[in-house]
A = this chain, B = another copy of it.
Amino acid sequence: MDDPASNASGATGSGPIPKAVASRLSLYLRELQHLIEQGEETTSSSELGRKLGFTDAQVRKDLAYFGHFGYPGIGYRCDKLVGAIKKILGTDQQWHAVLVGAGNLGRALLGYKGFQRQGFRVVAAFDTDASKVGSQIEGVAVVHLDQLTEFAKANRVRLGIIAVPAPAAQAVANRLVAAGVEGILNFAPVTIELPDTVRQVGVDLAIELEQLSFAIVTRGEPPTG
């Protein structure tokens, strides 16, 4: 292989990317984008590892899952690596998402600039509150939930974001599934059941704080994992 960067999706031969690796790829991507903004053209496994708290060996192993991007003695070209990681994560394309729930959290998500930057576009917000329907929030139209399916089909919507109170989450999830989304990001603090054709990621803000308090109370007696 003459051009070591020519093999973005062809994978070195290690097969599918382990989930543990995928979660780190997003962090590498964020850090690489940051380095590029600072004018860096290359980086190394030890620099990435130091910034993110991983060993250099782990960084190299992770990056070798999907191609030969490094140059011995030099390191990695940031831009090439960004392109390759985006391809793996699927964010080399743009994803259309809908948000359900135009409450406090929903509004904050609509104003969040980071989604756009990483290839996600929230194309509409849905709610059942008549006082919200018809308005615009951060430039995004608030539409009645009853029009979800129609809208989703017409606008190539593939992702749904749930930001409604816990008791409403499952019903909203069912509607999103009926509307044909392929994945759901769930901010409601409740487990939702989905057909296994639809992927989900759950974010529970209170659980994040619990994990922090756990880390504090076990300080000095560091956990095994």
Q: What residues on B are CB-neighbors of A183 within 8 Å?
A: 212-213, 215-216
Question: Which of A25, A158, A183 counts the most chain B CB atoms within 10 A?
Answer: A183
Q: Is the CB of A214 within 8 A of B22?
A: yes
Q: Is the CB of B200 within 8 A of A212?
A: yes
**Partner-contacting stretch, out of A69-77, A86-94, A140-148:** A86-94
Q: Which of B16, B191, B208 contacts A222 (CB 8 A)?
A: B16
Q: Is the CB of A16 within 8 A of B224?
A: yes
Q: What residues on B are CB-neighbors of A19 within 8 Å?
A: 223-225
Q: Which of A195-223 contact B (CB under 8 A)?
A: 197, 199-201, 203-219, 221-223
* Nearest neighbor of A105 in chain B, beta-carbon distance: B108
Q: What residues on B are CB-neighbors of A214 within 8 Å?
A: 17, 22, 25, 88-90
A118 within 8 A of B: yes
Q: What residues on B are CB-neighbors of A10 within 8 Å?
A: none
Nearest chain B CB to A61's CB is how many angstroms away?
13
List 20 A-B residue pairs with CB atoms under 8 Å apart, sorted by A's residue number: A16-B218, A17-B214, A17-B218, A18-B223, A22-B211, A22-B218, A22-B225, A27-B207, A30-B189, A30-B207, A89-B210, A89-B213, A91-B210, A97-B209, A105-B108, A112-B205, A112-B206, A114-B204, A159-B209, A203-B208
